[in-house]
Amino acid sequence: MVCAGALSLQFGAAVAALLFPRAGAIGVVAMRLTFSALIMLALCRPRLRGYTRTDWTAAVGLGLALGAMNTLIYQAIARIPLGAAVTLELLGPLVLSVVAARRAVSLLWAALALTGVYLLGSSGFSELNFTGVGFALAAGATWVAYIMLNARVGARFPKADGLALAMGVAALISAPVAVVSTGTALLDPVTLALGAAVAVLSSGLPYTLDLFALRRLPQATFAVLMSLMPVAAATAGFVVLGQGMEPLELLAVALVIAASVGAVRTEPRTGPRTAPAHGADAAPPT
């Protein structure tokens, strides 16, 4: 489910990049989230009563994380190649895992990741600019929040009801901003049809698969599988957008993936007085 979701997400992002000249990055994000919310709410028909304030806080938090993550990564994709953007985004969960582990071997993973990022920025990516890199790194931070909150929502809401409600929150926030910035461009039939396709590929299908996967997998294992995102992104960028990657750039992506896998597989250091019952709470939240 995780691998299928990764491929769907990145091919949807590649199609979304084709829409940027029509509706802009903000407009594409709004269409993606709005259509996804409508589809999810219609299919799930979640009930609104019977939940605690903590339940609603988790759902709203996931909605905010979804809106921010989508907006930031699309701003990055508009400026730098898809494979590079997703590789840099992966650094968010990676950094958190390295810090949480607090082991000497974590420095190795950090060094591998930094080497990969250096190669990515110096190996001929003429389109790699500081603004795009900044958006991708910020998207990585919200990716961490998405993983944590998605797991909480999946535990508190039945089926995919919590995700549907979170989608609704994200759509309510992004739609007004898109209308102000884009205007009537969002009413074009072709743009709307492509926006609906992006919504299914990039939001509805992968996020639902992620939610169900997080009910069956530890978050650390899920994070390892998320390390395959740059591979899916590079593949989608090549097939849909014609964005080729040189051997050195592929090596850079491989180094970041290896660093991420190593980081989340490294057991966190716990103090001698830490009770065994608290060990799970000390694990990296990625």
pLDDT of residue 120: 67
> How do residues 57-102 score in pLDDT, each as one tens digit?
999 999 999 999 989 999 998 888 888 888 888 777 777 666 666 6
Q: Helix or strand or coil: residue 9?
A: helix
Query: Which has the higher per-residue pLDDT, 282 or 121?
Result: 121
Q: Cβ(263)–Cβ(98) under 8 Å? A: yes
Q: Which residues does 272 contact at the CB level (< 8 Å), separation at least 6? A: none
Residue 272 pLDDT greater than 50, yes or no:
no
pTM for this one?
0.74
Task: Categorize the per-residue pLDDT at 139 as very low, low, confident or very high, splitting at 50, 70 and 90.
Answer: very high
Task: Categorize the per-residue pLDDT at 283 as very low, low, confident or very high, splitting at 50, 70 and 90.
Answer: very low
> How do residues 5-58 score in pLDDT, each as one tens digit?
989 988 998 988 888 888 888 888 888 888 889 988 988 889 888 889 999 999
Residue 270 pLDDT greater than 60, yes or no:
no
pLDDT of residue 126: 53
CA distances from 173 to 63, 67, 95, 124, 153 (A): 9, 8, 29, 38, 19
- Across the chain, what does the average pLDDT equal? 80
> How do residues 151-207 score in pLDDT, each as one tens digit?
889 889 988 898 889 999 999 988 888 888 777 777 788 888 888 888 888 877 887
> How do residues 203-256 score in pLDDT, each as one tens digit?
778 878 887 887 887 776 776 777 778 888 888 888 888 887 778 778 877 887
Q: Which residues does 215 contact at the CB level (< 8 Å), separation at least 6? A: 154, 155
All structural domains of the chain with their residue ranges: 2-269
What CA–CA distance (Å, rounded) separates 89 from 95?
11
pLDDT of residue 245: 74
Task: Categorize the per-residue pLDDT at 276 as very low, low, confident or very high, splitting at 50, 70 and 90.
Answer: very low
pLDDT of residue 281: 32
Q: Which residues does 241 contact at the CB level (< 8 Å), separation at least 6? A: 14, 17, 18, 81, 82
Q: Cβ(14)–Cβ(240) under 8 Å? A: yes
